[in-house]
């Protein structure tokens, strides 16, 4: 028996902006309910949602960076040429943001899903993992609050993605948590291994 769809954004019988706002609100206020009834269709709608919220997050972040750069220029802590170059890069990033967000979502979902499969927790397929990432990163929108908003939103998003893994795949908490952090753990181990190896090589070469 199929699950009841609890993701408002994927209820196409409702107006678009109403679906978008309700899903954002639910991600903040009722994440357990949101992730407990995710549908199992294709990636189209969660991709669209993730690109919209991710692009908004990127644009808001760029706005703050440009504002801080403007203040630095006015207070002569930044040269005009440096300001012009950074502004041009920010504008370019703003235009590329939707594409970069989409690519990032697919890469993150692919890596995390492989980790879930290795841990025996990815029973409901790649699309479920993709949905957890698409809807779980909603709190990144808190970057609209300068200074602390991005940090708080990042931690909150981390928690929601793990909840999405757990409820979406109906797996154990330890599998969901480890699947999220496993790529970071592996990268850290590789860095330590490389530094240690080259360190020994450098020591023997002396």
Beta-carbon contacts of 102 under 8 Å, excluding residues fewer than 6 positions away, are 47, 50, 51
Among candidate residues 44, 56, 43, the one with its CA nearest the CA of residue 97 = 56
Q: What is the rounded CA–CA span in Å between residue 173 and residue 180?
A: 11
Alpha helices by DSSP H, the chain: 16-29, 31-36, 44-74, 80-118, 126-136, 149-169, 173-205
pLDDT (average), residues 111-137: 93
Instruction: Please check the confidence at residue 73 and state whether its pLDDT lies above 80.
Output: no
50 located within any domain: yes
| Token pair recorded at residue 43 | 């990636």
Q: What is the rounded CA–CA span in Å between residue 124 and residue 170?
A: 8
Give SS3 for 79. coil
Rounded mean pLDDT of the chain?
87
pLDDT of residue 3: 58
Domain span at residue 30 reads: 8-205
Instruction: Please check the confidence at residue 149 and state whether its pLDDT lies above 90.
Output: no
Q: At what angle do helices 44-74 and 126-136 cross, to 10 degrees?
A: 30
| Tally of structural domains, the chain | 1
2 located within any domain: no
pLDDT of residue 1: 39
Contact between 23 and 7 under an 8 Å Cβ cutoff? The reply is: yes
Instruction: Please check the confidence at residue 162 and state whether its pLDDT lies above 60.
Output: yes
3 located within any domain: no
Instruction: Please check the confidence at residue 178 and state whether its pLDDT lies above 50.
Output: yes
**Least confident range of 38-42, 71-75, 120-124, 164-168:** 71-75
Among candidate residues 45, 56, 55, the one with its CA nearest the CA of residue 7 = 45
39 located within any domain: yes
Instruction: Please check the confidence at residue 64 and state whether its pLDDT lies above 60.
Output: yes
pLDDT (average), residues 32-38: 89
pLDDT (average), residues 38-56: 91
191 located within any domain: yes
pLDDT (average), residues 19-43: 90
Instruction: Please check the confidence at residue 76 and state whether its pLDDT lies above 90.
Output: no
């Amino acid at each position: 028996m199929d699950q009841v769809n609890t993701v408002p954004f994927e209820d196409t019988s409702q107006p678009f902006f109403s679906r978008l706002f309700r899903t954002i609100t639910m991600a903040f206020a009722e994440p357990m309910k949101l992730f407990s009834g995710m549908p199992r269709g294709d990636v189209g709608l969660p991709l669209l949602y993730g690109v919209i919220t991710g692009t908004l997050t990127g644009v808001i972040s760029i706005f703050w960076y440009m504002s801080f750069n403007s203040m630095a220029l006015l207070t002569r802590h930044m040269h005009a040429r440096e300001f012009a170059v950074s502004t041009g890069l920010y504008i370019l990033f703003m235009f590329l943001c939707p594409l970069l967000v989409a690519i990032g979502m697919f890469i993150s979902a692919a890596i995390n899903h492989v980790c879930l499969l290795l841990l025996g927790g990815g029973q409901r397929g790649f699309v479920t993992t993709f949905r957890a990432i698409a809807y779980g990163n909603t709190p990144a929108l808190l970057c609209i609050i300068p200074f602390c908003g991005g940090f708080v939103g990042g931690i909150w998003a981390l928690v929601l993605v793990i909840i999405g893994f757990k409820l979406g795949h109906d797996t154990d908490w330890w599998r969901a948590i480890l699947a999220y952090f496993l790529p970071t753990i592996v990268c850290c181990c590789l860095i330590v291994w490389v530094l240690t190896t080259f360190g020994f090589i450098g020591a023997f070469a002396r």
